[in-house]
């Protein structure tokens, strides 16, 4: 396995969530709001809205288990975005969507669902649900932290 494989497995799980919006397997950066929209604008029910997620590997640590292998522990941050619409109570929608993402990831504690696949010892954590301004558009924003382990051969 590799970090790229683990990242792909996370994206596969994100893509199982109903009405997830656009998902990206890396953090998308935009200087202009128009560019931000190309990354996260989604059409649901014939309505356009900002709705999307990105995945970022923040760091990893490794420890020796045997002379032929190590355990690598990755820290990932998933970032979620949803355009805020007070009249439509989008805060409730975003909270439910965040829960759905956590449930999808947590139910796939062995992400590849096979022997030797990356695994999670602890469930997803949500340290931040807030609002942020992106190019003049107020959005719901959250971060979900994942700690994922895998065995790495050193032979």
Q: What is the pLDDT of residues 59-72, one digit of tens each?
A: 999 888 877 788 88
Query: Does some domain include residue 14?
Result: no
In the structure, what pLDDT confidence band is assigned to residue 134 with cuts at 50, 70 and 90? Answer: confident
Q: Is residue 27 part of a domain?
A: no
How far apart CA 102 and CA 84 sit, in angstroms, is 21
pLDDT score recorded for residue 112: 59
Residue 116 has pLDDT above 70, yes or no: no
Residue whose pair of structure tokens reads 């998933």 in the numeric block? 78
Most confident of 92-96, 112-116, 133-137: 92-96
Q: Which residue has the higher pLDDT, 95 or 33?
A: 95
pLDDT of residue 147: 93
pLDDT digits (tens, 9 = 90+) for 88-105: 999 999 999 999 999 999
Domain assignment of residue 70, given as a range: 34-48+64-155
In a domain, 137, yes or no: yes
Contact 111, 117 (CB under 8 A): yes
Number of independent structural domains in the chain: 1
Whether the predicted pLDDT of 15 surpasses 80: yes
In a domain, 19, yes or no: no
pLDDT at 154: 67
In a domain? residue 15: no
123: exposed, middle or buried (C-beta count within 10 Å: 0-12, 13-18, 19+)?
Answer: middle
Residue 102 in any domain: the answer is: yes
The values of phi and psi at residue 25, to 5°, are -90, 20
Judged by DSSP in three states, 42 sits in: strand
What CA–CA distance (Å, rounded) separates 78 from 14?
10
């Amino acid at each position: 396995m590799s970090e790229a494989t683990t990242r792909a497995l996370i994206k596969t799980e994100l893509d199982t969530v109903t009405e997830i919006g656009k998902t990206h397997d890396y953090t998308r950066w935009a200087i202009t709001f128009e560019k931000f929209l190309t990354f996260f604008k989604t059409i649901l029910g014939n309505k356009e809205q900002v709705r999307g997620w990105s995945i970022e590997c923040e760091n990893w640590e490794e420890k020796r288990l045997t002379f032929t292998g190590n355990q690598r522990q990755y820290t990932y941050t998933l970032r979620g975005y949803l355009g805020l619409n007070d009249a439509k109570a989008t805060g409730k929608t975003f909270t439910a969507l965040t829960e759905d993402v956590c449930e999808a990831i947590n139910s796939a504690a062995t992400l590849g669902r096979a022997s030797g696949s990356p695994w999670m010892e602890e469930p997803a954590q949500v340290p931040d649900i807030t609002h942020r301004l992106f190019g003049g558009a107020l959005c719901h924003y959250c971060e979900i932290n994942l700690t994922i382990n895998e065995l790495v051969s050193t032979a």
